[in-house]
Amino acid sequence: MHQDRHQDRHDAASYQRIEVITGERRRRSWSDAEKARIVAESADPETSISEVARRNGVNRGLLSVWRRQARLASSEAP
């Protein structure tokens, strides 16, 4: 009996759940003004970058890219 239960668990463990996502994937297009506003909001040292990203519906990594681009643009400006 013990052997049978072990075999049943082994067989069940070999299955995996697969989720199929259908439909069109849409990316949000951010205007330069929106990016500038969000970057400015995230510049406050008292503010969490993750919280600013979450509040504005932006991926934290994307916000970090925008911040880096803004720093480079300001360092290149005359």
**pTM for this structure?**
0.63
Give the integer Cα–Cα distance in Å for 66 and 18.
Answer: 34
Cβ neighbors of 46 (< 8 A, separation 6 or more) are: none
Q: Are 51 and 38 in contact (CB under 8 A)?
A: no
Gyration radius of the chain over CA positions: 23
Give the integer Cα–Cα distance in Å for 59 and 28.
Answer: 11
Q: Are 53 and 60 in contact (CB under 8 A)?
A: yes
Which amino acid is present at 47? T
pLDDT tens profile 9-65: 556 566 678 877 777 767 788 999 999 999 999 999 999 999 999 999 999 999 999
